[in-house]
Structure 1
Amino acid sequence: MLPVDQTQFVGDGVGGNCVQASVASILNLSLADVPHFLEVGERPEEWELSMMDWLEERGISYIRREGEWIFDGYYLASGPSPRGVSHMVVYHDGSLAHDPHPSRAGILEVKRTWVLAPLDPSAIRLTAAA
């Protein structure tokens, strides 16, 4: 996981890009390599469809669960931030691994969990144990 910080914040008629930064972080990509999902869809409230389409183009799907789902590895989590807005961060094994907001305050509660997974598990390259 390569921590990437968000560059756009809620306010002044724009939405923050915490989702973009969290997805970039978990996939080890730069912010420029991931779209700002609130801005690429037909409507901002359809950001998750935009994210799903973008991930699928790259052979990645996700499993989303309501509430906290502690997963052994890196995953996305969202919930209310201390700033009073919905926010997405990266978790690892049940703990905050990276908050893309400069405050690094995380979220107050995990309301949703996203675990990324390959669309085709047979495409996963495994190395033989030595």
Structure 2
Amino acid sequence: MNGVTQTILAGTPGRQGNCLQAAVATILNLPLDDVPHFVELDESWSEALAAFATRHGYATVWTDGYHPAPHLGLAFGPTIRDADIVHAIAVHGQDYWDPHPSRAGLTSVTTYVAWQPLAGLRAGDQ
């Protein structure tokens, strides 16, 4: 997994951190600038994320942190830096990528978002 590092950190005046943007760029192997900064969009960031994933050939399936980690997707949760901020990291197989420059990871997982290839879902429907 080629990890993308976030460029906007939580606490930047007037901005939201872009960990989600960097985690999605990591999953799709895209440059950061080719991925929207979802949490700063006017629309619902979760709907924008799902629509973006669909345009790139994936369905998103949201589960809580008690489920197993997806093969490909996102994990959300608190970090050692701030238990009150929800941070996003990328998951690919057994690899996890924390886009924060510290690479500290999550202290726990509250939510997983599995990215499932649409082609595989369509083939399974037949």
Give TM-score, length-normalised by structure 2: 0.83
Which residue in 2 is equivalent to 1:66? 64
Identity value in percent:
38
In 1, Cα distance between equivalents of 2:121 and 2:78: 37
Q: Which has the higher contact order (CA 8 A, sep 6+)?
A: 2
Query: Which of structure 1's runs of 4+ aligned residues deviate more than 3 A?
Result: none
Which residue in 1 is equivalent to 2:14? 13
Which string of whole-angstrom CA distances, capped at 9 and with x for unpartnered residues, describes residues 19-49 of structure 1?
Answer: 000011011111011111012233xxx2111
Runs of at least 5 residues in structure 2 that lack an aligned partner in the other structure: none
Instruction: Report the AA paired with residue 90 of structure 2.
Output: V
Write out aligned runs for 1:39-118 (5 A): 39-42=40-43, 46-71=44-69, 73-84=71-82, 85-93=85-93, 97-118=96-117
In 1, Cα distance between equivalents of 2:70 and 2:39: 29
In 1, Cα distance between equivalents of 2:15 and 2:26: 22
Runs of at least 5 residues in structure 1 that lack an aligned partner in the other structure: 125-130
In 1, Cα distance between equivalents of 2:71 and 2:18: 23
Decide whether aligned partners of structure 1 residues 80 and 39 sit closer, same or farther in structure 2, where only a CA change above 3 A counts: same
The structure that has the greater radius of gyration is 1
Decide whether aligned partners of structure 1 residues 19 and 72 sit closer, same or farther in structure 2, where only a CA change above 3 A counts: closer
Task: Judge which range, 78-87 or 63-72, deviates more.
Answer: 63-72
